[in-house]
Amino acid sequence: MSTIRRGSPMAYAMWALALGGYIFAATCRSSLSATGIQAALYFDISSSALSSFVYLQLFVYAIMQIPAGMLLDRFGPKAMIVAGCCLMSLGQGLLAVSTVTGMAVVARAIVGAGDALIFISVIRLLAAWFPLRRLPLMNQLTGQIGNLGQIISVYPFVWVMNLTSWQTAFLSLAGVGLMIAFCVMTLLRESPANPSAPAIRPPVGTGHHAIRNLGTVARIPGTVCGFWVHSITWFSNTMMNQLWGFPFLLAVERYSYAQASAYLASGTLSCVVLAMFFGRFASSHPVRGRVLLVYGTVGAQMLCWTILLLTEGPHSRVLMIALLLAISSGMAASSLAFDFAREANAPRDLGTATGLANIGGFLSSGLVLLGVGLLLDWQGADNPNLYSDHTMRIAVLAQYPIWIIGLIGFSVMLPKALRNLRQRNAEISAGSWTNEY
């Protein structure tokens, strides 16, 4: 069969198909955010126990990134997306029939394991189907369009739950995942060079060889920079959208449930718009532009949160819009982590490198979600009826240590990563580095 041009309409069709899997993953990931208070009452659990539903899923996701990246390099994106959708469907189905907290926690862990397989697989697929110069923009669009799943969880999913029941809503979501898995299995093609065959895999090595290769990728400065970029840009948006946004907006800003839903949904749409700008800006300014975006978005988040926490609420619409744009810009900037990792590693190691970079945001988000829950319990606010302006303000301070540690790690590693990037660009110019995926 003749070669299909990279970036052709077929490439966009394959991207859209894989993107369906990521939208489903984002919906599953945030399905407890819009129903967090209902979940606390449904299972009769404390604030820290409620946060365990989400942070355990995120920790499982983070832990799974290393084996997921290695499996991706071995088996390819098609098999991984199918497996991920099936695992998430299993987890959502188990959550639907859970009657005790322990069973629900196991269900969320299964969802996290499936979720871990999806995003890096879509990123790997993009590298095969699109030209190198277009990848930053496509990575951005993938991350942000996929997060429209958060809107699905806030509106259609909650609507189904209110119309029917907890069980019906989660079982319906599980059924959607199985349908997506079937479509990917039957229609997705991995390689434009030969659409009927899977992409080239590295030869199977021993476990010792795989671990040694993992260590090599993990020591590359660009991979480490990607880890820190993802860890400092992503978690504030995740904290708001995955669990604590609704309680914070209701307690501090006196929003109604409908206002809080609209606010968070607007942030998701803002991410899509900012992603297009960030992707083009990063493509035009691949070194200084990316660094500026990382420091700028993190600085904007810290500034807006600090002003909000030091002033009386409810706050002005201007400040709340500024906060929304700041945390949305962080979500958009998080995709820059994969540009750092991709450009520093050989194509055959892209899955492993992307997985290592992707750990950062999920690990930091899990720590922040856990920290907020523990700080609420420490103040005696161990159920939603006790959340107040003061307790929520104290609880969200859990973000600041993560920002400080991450900024230090990124700043220390950045000069080494930039030196390696310049050396790699020189090798490309000399023809000693291949960009083929």
Quote the CA–CA distance of 252 and 164 in Å, as a whole number: 31
Residue with tokens 């806030």: 154
Q: Which whole number is the average pLDDT over 110-138?
A: 90
Q: Tens digit of pLDDT for each residue in 54-91? A: 777 778 888 898 899 889 988 999 999 999 999 999 99
Domains of the chain by range and CATH?
A: 9-426 (1.20.1250.20)
Quote the CA–CA distance of 422 and 431 in Å, as a whole number: 14
- The contacts found for 285-289 with CB under 8 angstroms, 24 or more apart, are 286/136, 286/339, 286/343, 287/418, 287/421
User: Please, how many CA atoms are within 13 Å of residue 163, restricted to the half-sphere of its CB?
Assistant: 9
Quote the CA–CA distance of 150 and 3 in Å, as a whole number: 37
Q: Tens digit of pLDDT for each residue in 337-371? A: 988 988 888 877 888 888 899 899 988 988 998 89
pTM of the predicted model, to two decimals?
A: 0.78
CA triple 363-141-116, angle to 5 deg = 35
Determine which helix (DSSP H) or strand (DSSP E) holds 27, and give its type and residue range: helix 9-29
